[in-house]
Each structure stands twice: as C-alpha cells, then as structure tokens.
Amino acid sequence: MSKKKSVQKPKNIKKTLLRIFSYMAKRRLLLILVILFVFISSGATVAGTYFLKPIINQGIVPLIGKPLTPGALLPFIQMLLLMGGIYLAGAACAYAYNRMMIVISNGTLNAVRRDLFNSMEDLPIKYFDTHTHGELMSRYTNDVDTLREAIAMSLPQMLTATVTVAGTFIMMLILSPLLTLIVIGMLVIMYFVIKIVGSRSARGFKAQQKALGETNGYIEEMIEGQKVIKVFCHEDIVKNDFAELNDKLRSASTQAHTYANVLMPIMGNLSYVQYALTAAFGAVLVIFGSMDLGSIASFLQYTRSFSQPITQISQQFNALLTALAGAERIFEVIDAEPEKDDGYVTLVNVCESADGTLTECKEVTNTWAWKHPHHDGTLTYEKLRGDVRFHDVTFGYSDDKMVLHNVSLFAKPGQKIAFVGSTGAGKTTITNLINRFYEVQEGKITYDGINIKKIRKVDLRHSLAMVLQDTHLFTGTVADNIRYGRLNATDEEVHAAAKLANADFFIRHLPQGYDTMLTSDGANLSQGQRQLLAIARAAVANPPVLILDEATSSIDTRTEALIERGMDQLMEGRTVFVIAHRLSTVRNADAIMVLEHGRIIERGDHEELLKQKGKYYQLYTGQFELD
C-alpha cells in the first residue's frame, strides 16, 4: 500500500493573493461597496474616539469644583449623542459589509469550485494514477473551507484593521507627534516579531496542509479496501502506517500552531508595554502644560485602538496563511496541464447514397464516418469500419520502464481479439492506448488506417465502448446508469440494451425496477449485477469497437453463460477486444494474443494455440485441472 506524494510548488503569497482577488473582482460593485463601508466604519471608530477630547475639555473639566447648574450638562450630552450617532453609523456599515462579504465569498468559492472541477475533468488519466483520491478530495473540502473563511472573515477584518491603524496613526500625529514616536518605536518591534514568527508559522501551516491531504487520502484508501485488509489480516500493519501519517500530521500541526499561538500573547504584552510608556510620558506632558487632559485621554484610547487592530492583524494573519496554503494547492490542480489533443479528424453522422457517396447530415442515421479536413479547405469522408492495428508499439508509463515492447497486431472489422497472460503482462495497457489515455513512445496505432493521434480524442472515444475492470456506477436510477453510455438513448433502447446484457430480468425484480435509485457505487447490488449494468451501458452506446476488460471476472458461471449469449449478439459486426483470466470466455475469439512481459509470445485461434502446446496450452490445461 504505497502512499503517493503530491508535488508542492514554492509558496508565492503575492501571486496567490492576486489570483484570489481576480476571482473576487468579478463582483466589482459589491467589492467597491465593501471597501467604502469599511472606510466609513473604521472612520467612524477613529472619529468617535476623537470626541473624548471635547467631551472632557468642554463638557467635564469646566464642571470640576463648580456647582451643577441647569443646562451645564447640555454640551456634554450633545457631544455624547453625536459620538453615539457616529458609532451607530459605523456599526451599520460594519453589518452591511460583512453581509456583502458573505455574498462575495460564496460567489468566489462557487467559481473556484467550478474551475477546480472543470480542470479536474480535463486532466489526463495519468494525473489520477499519480495522485490519491484523498489528496484531490482535500482540495474540495479542507482547502476550500479555509479559503472561504479567509475571504469571508480574515480579509475584511484585516482591511478594517489596516484602515483603523492608518486613521488612528494620523489622529495620534495630530494630537502629539512626540507620543506618536513612542508608539512607532513599539510598532517596529511588533513588525519584526510578526515577520520572524509569521514566516515560521507559514512553513508550518503549509506542511500541515500537505500532511492532512496525505492522511485523508490514506483513510479513504483504507475505507475502500476494508475487505482486502481483513481477508489478509493486515489490520495491525494498516494501524501502524496510519499512526506514522497521523504522527506526521500532529508534528506539522504542532509546529504550525506553536508559532501561531505564541504570536498573540507576545503582541498583547508588547501592547501593554506601549500603553504604559505612553501613559507615563503623557502624564509628564500634562503636568508641564504641554498637553491638555482631553488630548491625553483621546491619545491613550487611540493607543489602545492602535494596538487592538495590530493584534487582530496578527491573529488573522495565521488564518490567511492557512488559506493561502490551501489556495496554492487548489490552483495547482487548476493549473495542472490538461489532456493534450492535437487531433483534427472528427467523427460525424453521414448519409450514404446509392453510389456509396457519404455526406454529412443532421438526422440520426447510425452511419458514421471519419471527417478529414485538408490544407486546401476540402473535406473527405471515410466510413467508420472498426479496423484497429498496432505497428511496432513500444510504451511505458515512465520513460525508464517499458511495459510493451514492439507490439504489432491487427483487428479487422467484426473480429474478436482476446488477450491473455499473467497480471502485469500489458493487457490492460493495450486498451488504455486504444483510448489514448496515454500516448505511445514508439510505433503507432491506426484506426481505419488513420493514426489515432490525428483523431480528436472525444471522437475516438465516441467510437468505442469499454467495460472497465472495476465497475463504477453513479448515483441515480438504474436507467440513468445504463443511459450514461449514450445520454440521448430512449427508454426502449435502454431496455433493449439491458436485455442484451441479460440484466433486464434482475432489474425488473428490483423495488422500483429501472427507476430504482443506486447510491454508493451501487452498493445495493451484487458485484455480478453491477457488472451486468456496466455491460448494458456499453451496449446502449452501440459502438463499432467494444473493449471488455476482465468483463466477466466477477460473475458466476451461470451469469457468465447468459452474458456470453448476449455479447455474441452485441459483438456481431463489431471489432471486439477481450481481456479475461478465464480462458473459457475467449475460446470463440478470432485471434488470441498471449502476452508475457509486454511482448506477444504466441498468437492464433484457440485450436491453433492448443496445437502449439506453448504458454496458452499450459494456461488452458492448468485452468481446467484446477476447475
């Protein structure tokens, strides 16, 4: 049970932030209103604090030591009401921009998720072979959630805090430049603390996100493989492997949060020191008459207001770092190189005249042809036959390890070609190459005489239907899962395909028949029934070329016999590639290819290979002795 590692790119905070803002900018009007309301809200906070000066100097100091007369408190009450009104306006703006940020964050995340999913669908099969499901799911769950929190909470709070700090700093300069120098000195110290601790915290959060993705991937893999784990009694091994991953996650998380959590107490203590120094020097200035009592009261409140947003910035900084680490991982998938396709030959529906001339037509004729565009602007059409040939094909999933070596074979229209051999011999690889899931390193594959690299992948795959080794069913009705082979298939065509695959009988005995809902990959069906639906799905596609990858390996002998009868009808007039370990399923093949270590070591029909008494003979007689 190997663990695959994702490739981590160097962290680029500026680039990632700009990328996030490009998504948010799609809602420019709301974003402008948010910025406007942030300035109003923060400005109200700053202006409201300044009113302490006239309240004390004009509303309180004149009353000290004097008898209270009617109307003496009127200036105090008026300024107090004005101050309250300003704060109330600021609170209303804060409520408004927070509501708007929720709309912006949800819209942004909707676009990010859409781009992430669309990019994933455009990725080549190779990407999914080298990344675990858990790693990809972590992008949709953990990373998207942290990004949502950052956009909805961290960014507006940091913007508010920044505007508040700027406004407060200006007012402090107006009140006392000398005391402001003390605050600036402490601010420089705070900056270096944030820089040192924050950089280490950023590395820790990135390592934590990576470890979390690996752990989630391992958990998902183990959940899917519970039967295998228990059959081979590997529970202890799995527990130990998980313990290692869990410890790695704990270590990364501890390091990240150690630096993150130590930042707040340090900043808090530094703000207390700053407040004490400011109060002491301010008292001296008041004593010597260089500053009035109202000014020092406002300045001290500004000092407290100045420290609070800086502390808030340091708190949200950690959340923002986590979100940026997650956003980087999301953008890695979005920016991953999509599946390349340089093909230009397309598959079109054609009408055939009496003299055999093919013309492209809109009505459905079930007659298909390859459409060749030429440099001079002309078009030629070649009827789809299903002639597939390998010409000295050499291929490896990595350049240093070849899986197929100089493989040459042909399948004429309507022929049934079977591949047999031990696991890892290269049987499934051949079907992957026919679908152009991978490109060959040497040699070529032709389809009706056309190099498949010249055929657009979507058109190539439309001409094929494949029953995969691992049957996958989607959440939906039985009919929907069969119709997945051809979305515009009618109910009658779906039922006919099910009958052809001998699935109609068991489907009609389900609680709602063809309308029975399937969930969790068809967990309410047996493995054999899921395989039958997969075959029906291929049948409804009505392809000229059919690929059966271990199609009957999970079906009992009786069901296999039913399928064989149905498949004989389905295969009529089609080119069929069959991969099966049970040699009884390939006896009626037109040609059987025996693969060993990526090479075809024997070829011929069933009788010819038995007469050779080679590898096929050994496999065939050995199987029957086992049976």
For the residues of 351-405, what is the DSSP string, one character each? EE-TT--EEE-SS--S-EEEEEE-TTS-EEEEE----EEEEEEEE-SBTTB-SEE
pLDDT digits (tens, 9 = 90+) for 39-60: 999 889 888 888 888 888 777 7
Residue 242 CB-half CA count within 13 A: 14
CA distances from 424 to 124, 129, 598 (A): 21, 16, 8
Whole-angstrom distance, CA of residue 249 vs CA of residue 253: 6
State how far Cα 229 lies from the chain centre. 28
Residue 30 CB-half CA count within 13 A: 19
Residue 612 phi, psi dihedral angles, 5° rounding: -70, -25
3-state SS, residue 70? coil
3-state SS, residue 64? coil
Beta-carbon contacts of residue 7 (< 8 Å; ≥ 6 apart):
332
Q: Residue 168 pairs with which residues in a beta bridge?
A: none
Whole-angstrom distance, CA of residue 608 vs CA of residue 623: 18
Task: State the first-to-last Cα distance of the chain, in angstroms, to the nearest integer.
Answer: 31
Whole-angstrom distance, CA of residue 495 vs CA of residue 518: 17
Beta-carbon contacts of residue 291 (< 8 Å; ≥ 6 apart):
176, 282, 285
Whole-angstrom distance, CA of residue 498 vs CA of residue 503: 5
- 8 Å CB contact between 261 and 281: no
Helix (H) or strand (E) holding 466: strand 464-467
The confidence score (pLDDT) of residue 30 equals 92
pLDDT digits (tens, 9 = 90+) for 235-281: 888 889 899 999 988 888 888 888 777 877 887 788 788 888 888 88
The confidence score (pLDDT) of residue 554 equals 56
Q: What is the largest CA-CA distance in the chain?
A: 126
Whole-angstrom distance, CA of residue 269 vs CA of residue 360: 79
Mode of pairing for the β-strands spanning 388-395 and 599-604? unpaired
Structure-block tokens of residue 290: 């260089």
3-state SS, residue 501? coil
Mode of pairing for the β-strands spanning 575-579 and 416-421? parallel
The confidence score (pLDDT) of residue 65 equals 64
The confidence score (pLDDT) of residue 627 equals 32
Whole-angstrom distance, CA of residue 42 vs CA of residue 364: 66
User: Dihedral through CA 616, CA 620, CA 626, CA 627, nearest 10?
Assistant: 150
How many CB atoms within 10 Å of residue 84? 12
Of 200, 168, 198, the closest CA to residue 184 belongs to 168
Q: Letter for the amino acid at 287? A: I
| The architecture CATH gives domain 386-619 | 3-Layer(aba) Sandwich (3.40)
Residue 26 phi, psi dihedral angles, 5° rounding: -70, -15
For the residues of 154-198, what is the DSSP string, one character each? IHHHHHHHHHHHHHHHHHHHHH-HHHHHHHHHHHHHHHHHHHHHH
Give the chain's mean pLDDT: 84
Tell whether domain 8-174+307-336 is in CATH 3.40.50.10190.
no
The confidence score (pLDDT) of residue 563 equals 66
Whole-angstrom distance, CA of residue 296 vs CA of residue 303: 10
Structure-block tokens of residue 473: 């069913």
Q: Residue 476 pairs with which residues in a beta bridge?
A: 518
3-state SS, residue 548? strand
The confidence score (pLDDT) of residue 414 equals 87
Query: Which residues of the chain fall short of a pLDDT of 70?
Result: 1-11, 63, 65-70, 72, 227, 231-232, 469, 520, 550-556, 559-560, 562-564, 566-567, 569, 581, 623-627
Of 147, 150, 100, 109, the closest CA to residue 316 belongs to 150
Whole-angstrom distance, CA of residue 3 vs CA of residue 132: 8
3-state SS, residue 577? strand
Q: Letter for the amino acid at 60? A: I
Helix (H) or strand (E) holding 268: helix 235-287
Residue with tokens 């799995």: 238
- 8 Å CB contact between 392 and 355: no
- Map out the domains of the chain as residue ranges: 8-174+307-336, 176-289, 344-381, 386-619
